[in-house]
Chains A and B, each alone.
Chain A
Amino acid sequence: MLLNVNELSLSLKRAGKYSKILDQISFQVEEGETVGIVGESGCGKSMTALSLMRLLPEKALLEGEVNFQGEKISGYSKRKLEKIRGNQVSMIFQDPLTSLNPLHTVGTQIEESLLLHTKMTKKERRKRVLQLLNDVGLPRAEDLIDEYPHQLSGGMRQRIMIAIAMACEPQLLICDEPTTALDVTVQAQILELMNKIKKETQMGIIMITHDMGVVAEVCDRVIVMYAGKIVEEGPVLEIFQNPKHPYTQGLLDSIPKLGQRKEKLGSIPGTVPAPENMVVGCRFADRCSHAMDICRTVHPPMIGIKENHQTACWLYEEGDEKDGSIGSHKLEAALH
């Protein structure tokens, strides 16, 4: 197992007091596997990603365990963690313009990872940078090396971010909404590149997104998050064909089907509750059309529906194979 996250909880200071942003998150990532983390804005997807490498805002309280390749890295000192960051575990962020240093050339920024983690000579580093630019599909690498981020398009910048992340051939790549800030056509190109990289390496990938289409495109397994908790988890096909949690079903209903106008999309009424007013029971109960009394008083435990498919919802019992199937047209729709 590549990554094993065990009961990870995170509290951040907001308006003078601590509130829980992540509540007992547990999940695994295998080598070569791409795991999607989906959920609406504010569900804690980014915080989950940042917690793994402890790239958190100041005054963050982190509990639980993160094991990477059998090592408990959650206990590592900062210095020890720096040796893993960018080397064995890389990250790609949402906005490629603000994520690149405006005063450093593209070449310098890609080279930095090599400088920090390898013993390559200057010449070897340059060769590797050129090769990386080539790998991420950027032409005229020789010129590009001396250019600055503001001279490039959004798609090119994101390719640069990917090149930076891939520089040291990491075992785990964490992508936080890598396509959200890009136009639709560029999104497709970046996803294609991700799929190519996925095929060529044995890297584990965590793909954070709020777009079920992206999940269908690149992921093997999905984790659905709601308000700082995991509510459902399973293989992509299973989740698309047989979603259990009403929240997952709601998310799937918001995928545009072929020929359907965007405004007609079903969307879940209401919004994600703020971390400071979390309820005791199921956090989704207020927005759920199936909510029962128990939902508001006791939080549902995670139960296994099938092998690999789990959900936290009082509508189901262990091994329950009741319907809820919405049909495979969802997956097809998402893939378009």
Chain B
Amino acid sequence: MRMDALKFVGKRLLLMIPILIGISILTFAISNTIPGDPARLILGPKATPEGLEALREDMGLNDPLYVQYGRYMGGIFQGDLGQSTYSQKPVSADLIRYSPATFELTLFAMVITVLIGIPLGIISASKKDKIADQITRIFALIGVAMPAFWLGLLLLLLFYLKLGVFPGSGRLDSGMSPPTYITGMYTVDALLTGNWPVFKAAVMHLVLPGITLAAITIGMITRMTRSSMLEVLKSDYIRTAHAKGAPENRVLYGHALRNGVMPVITLLGMAFGHALGGSVLVESVFSWPGLGRYAVNAITYLDFPAVMGVTLLIAILFILVNLIVDTLYFFIDPRLKHN
């Protein structure tokens, strides 16, 4: 069984290679068909045609696309993602610098998604059509339907400007210095070093962007948990549990829950990808110094190596998370173990 799981993971890791090549070709092609000339953007309006041409030649922009792509991929295998034209630094260094902030925000959003979404879905299903269910369903619908930037602005207006209970931008209070660098995620690092004031500030700063980012995924997970639980509660083995004399709560938590949560786990993998993508907008609203804001800047400055780098990193993360999810099934669903 251990062997099976290993084989399964190995196969999936191999499968990642063609997927990543596909994604890289796609982003490369798209970023090169966007009208705009990085050389002109770098040199500004006063550039001479000769200067532009020389820079283009220098950056390799005059070579055929496949040559440019080949050069890029060749670099990747040596850990070189190119030079960011905007920050003037290697893209890999930028990614390392900005990704911990995004991971922290995304993970925080996923934790509240699980802690709120799944229990709400269970309550909703077990109180089907009652008032608790109606209210939950309305909230889930709002969460899914409300645009993230709009919700972000509303939360800022209410909790930051009006009530002043939560900070509205950045990762720490101004003047506070970050904790000792371990993972780059301030909450984790502060916790590891026992730095309570920084920990508290970091959590407070996470609240508003975290809720904004999680609103959609909470809605998704709540709805999925509800419908999956309702489906399970109709099944024959639930009737068997009742026929055995199991009380309502035992049936719900002992029999229905594990079966009902199964499909939700797959959706959690999806939700993680969704949250990573959503961080682009949310980070801009809350001035969160992460990958999302870096990507937005990169796009506005036609900084192709940076855009490519962010896209590939997010794609790899997304695939990895889904691989973890699939592997998890291997351990919780006995039907997979024995096939």
Contact = CB atoms under 8 A, between A and B. Distances in A.
Given A55-B242, A79-B247, A113-B244, A103 B334 contact: yes
Contacts of A222: none
Contact of A86 (B245, B248, B334, B338): B245
A112 B244 contact: yes
Contact of B245 (A102, A104, A113): A113
Interface string A87-103: 10011010100111111
B240 interface: yes
Contacts of A84: 245
Nearest to B238: A101
Interface residues of A, number: 30
B237 A112 contact: no
Contacts of A317: none
Given A101-B259, A148-B335, A150-B334, A117 B245 contact: yes
B33 interface: no
Contact of A102 (B243, B247, B250, B335): B335
A116 interface: yes
B239 interface: yes
Interface in A97-125: 98-104, 112-113, 116-117
B335 A150 contact: yes
Given A99-B239, A101-B240, A87 B245 contact: yes
Main secondary structure of the interface of B (DSSP, over half): helix
Contact of B334 (A85, A113, A148): A148
Given A148-B335, A148-B338, A116 B237 contact: no
A148 B258 CA distance: 15
B235 to A, nearest CB: 6
B278 to A, nearest CB: 33
Contacts of B258: 103
Nearest to B257: A103
Interface in A283-323: none
A164 interface: yes
B160 to A, nearest CB: 45
B329 to A, nearest CB: 12
A150 B259 contact: no
Contact of B236 (A99, A103, A116): A99
A82 B338 CA distance: 35
A82 B237 contact: no
Nearest to A49: B243
29 contacts: A53-B243, A79-B247, A82-B246, A83-B245, A85-B245, A86-B243, A86-B245, A90-B243, A91-B240, A93-B236, A93-B243, A95-B236, A98-B235, A98-B236, A99-B236, A99-B239, A101-B259, A102-B237, A102-B259, A103-B258, A103-B334, A112-B244, A116-B244, A116-B245, A116-B250, A150-B334, A161-B240, A164-B240, A164-B244
Interface of B: 235-237, 239-248, 250, 255, 258-259, 332-335, 338
